[in-house]
Structure 1
Amino acid sequence: MNDSLHLVCPHCHAVNRVPAARLAERPNCGQCHQPLFTGQPVELTAAHFAQHITRSDIPVLVDFWAPWCGPCRMMAPHFAQAAKLLEPHVRLAKVNTEEEQALSAQYHIRSIPTLALFKGGGEVARQAGAMGAADIVRWVQAQR
């Protein structure tokens, strides 16, 4: 059984191998020495989206949002709170659909906010609409 996980650094986007038993020890990136988990969602752009989705051995929950969207702005603090509750077992990330229109089109985002859960490089679940932190955590745990 493989007891190490590949984790993508939220700062420099390097792939790190971390023993699963060390996840709770707040590991740092081997390249930039920043924490691999910050308790905050990672802002992703097209340049690093695939790296985080395909190279991470933990699920990645992506919030597709836009700055002009009222429900998106309302959900943002709840999504950040969910990051504190779900890390280090799930990485939370945000994609600004205004700035990353190609990603939005690629994943057929029709309404925002939309949460998409990725595992092993593929989307496994999707939920549209604003949610509170407890609902986000419950929804993600139901998918695992």
Structure 2
Amino acid sequence: MKVVCPHCFSVNNVPKKDSYKKANCGKCKSSLLDTEPVNLISTNFDDMIVNSDLPVMVDFWATWCGPCQMMAPNFSAAAKHYPLKAVFAKVNTETQEILGARFGIRSIPTLIIFKNGVEKERVSGALPKESLMQLIDKYTD
């Protein structure tokens, strides 16, 4: 399966397994098992969304948004359960206005799940960790 490195955005071919003890990027040697949400900007957004065989859940948020701040720990906690199963990413709509406009973000937080470069589902509003996991589980193999 194709996996985009969250550090250098290089595409890696990784054999599909139920679990992994080690998986490093062929270019930068960083761990592909890193589950911290990836910050996406206009220059790397398509690299992650289009080139990944994994589902990508993108949180469109802003620093001034109270519900966004409340959901952030839940988003990070949910991400920890999906090493090489899903990618959790964040787009700051204050600094990435082009991406907010491109996807018609009208309220935040808005979550969009992409699979194979295509938007599959969109949800607005802050969610607890369990709901985030149920949402992404629909798209993980």
From 55, 64, 71, the equivalent of 2:60 is 64
Q: Distance in 1 between matches of 2:48 and 2:14?
A: 15
Residue 112 and residue 8 in structure 1: after superposition, are their counterparts in 2 closer, same or farther (change >3 A)? same
Q: Is 1:7 equivalent to 2:3 in the alignment?
A: yes
Matched, 1:93 2:89: yes
Q: TM-score normalized by structure 2?
A: 0.94
| Higher relative helix content | 1
Tell me which residue corresponds to 1:38.
Answer: 34
1:107 aligns to what? 103
Change (3 A) 1:111 1:134: same
Letter in 2 for 1:57: D
User: 1:117 aligns to what?
Assistant: 113
- Aligned partners of 2:55 and 2:136 also within 8 Å: no
- For residue 130 of structure 2, the aligned residue among 127, 134, 137 is 134
Matched to 1:89, the amino acid is K
Contact 1:86 1:137 in 2 (8 A): no
8 Å Cα contact 1:7/1:56 also seen in 2:
yes
SS at match of 2:94: coil
Q: Tell me the amino acid that sits aligned with residue 17 of structure 1.
A: N
Q: Which amino acid aligns with 2:9?
A: H
Count residues with an aligned counterpart.
140
Deviates more, 1:18-27 or 1:68-77: 18-27
Contact kept? 2:55, 2:139, Cα under 8 Å = no
Instruction: Give percent identity, aligned residues only.
Output: 45
TM-score, with structure 1 as normaliser: 0.92
Find runs of 4+ consecutive structure 1 residues off by over 3 angstroms.
Answer: none
* Distance across 2 between alignment mates of 1:20 and 1:75: 30
